[in-house]
Structure 1
C-alpha cells in the first residue's frame, strides 16, 4: 500500500470538496503529545517539470523523514474508508482510506519553507492573469491497500483566504 497527501481543490470538474469537520485537529499540532512538531526543510533547486497541459512534477519536496512523519501523524489519528457512488452518478470509483485535516501551518510550510512556491511560480507563471499564491489548508492523506483505487476525476474549486483554488497538489509519501 501507499500514502499520499492531497491538497483538495483545483480542477474544473464535478467532484465535490468536503471540508474537514469544524474542530478537526491539525495534522501536526505541537500541542498534541502524540505528534511531534514538524519543521519542513528548504530544498535546494526544486524544479517543476511540465508533464502535460496544466500538470507539473516537482521531485524532492519532502525528505523521507518528513514524509514518514506525515504518514505517522495521519496513522495516529486514523483513516476513514472513502467510497463513492461511482460513474453512474458522475463520480469516480473510489475505495481507499482517507484522513482529512485543517492545517494552515503545515500547508504554509509545505508551500514556503520547502521552496515549492518558487518552483511552481517559476514554472507556471501567470495563468489568465493569476498566479499561484499558496496551498489550501484543508489537507487529505490517502492510504491505498492492494486493489484500492481512486479513479480519474476532477477536483472542484475551493474558496480559501488566499483566493480560489485552481489546481491540486499531490505529494506521494511512500514508495
Structure 2
C-alpha cells in the first residue's frame, strides 16, 4: 500500500478539505466536489471513518458526513443549514423571535412545509417555542447559529442542489 496512513493520502486529504469547508456533506456532494468515482469515495469514507478522521450521521436514509474536528453537538445545526427551508427559518429567527405567521410570510412556503420544518428544528433542539398569548419561535443558541452560518458559504449551484434535496428530506 502506497499510503499506509490515510492522513497523508492525497485523496483522503481532498475529502477532508471538502468536509471542513462544507460540513454536513452528503455522499453525492463529496463525489461531485472531489471528482472521484463512487467506489473510490465509498472506500475512503469507510476507511476514514474507521480511523476516526470523519464521522457520519444517518437521518431518514441520508448519510451526512463531518470532519471529526467539528464539534459533534453542532451536527444537527449543520444538517439543517443544508436544507433550504430550515436555513431560511434560522436566518429569519436570528433577527429575533417570530410567530408562525411572520415566518410563513418571510419564507414564502406552504403552511404544511413550514410546520414540518419547524417540527424538525424543534426535535433537533435548534428552535424553541415561547408560549404566551401568541406562540413565538426562537433560536436556542444564537451564537452557535451565527458561527455555523459563517462556516457554510455555499455557491449558487450548491443552493440549487440543496433546494432540490430539501424537497424530499421531510418525508
Q: Which TM bucket (shorter chain)?
A: under 0.3
What TM-score comes out, normalization by structure 2 length? 0.22
What TM-score comes out, normalization by structure 1 length? 0.21
More strand by share: 1
More helix by share: 2
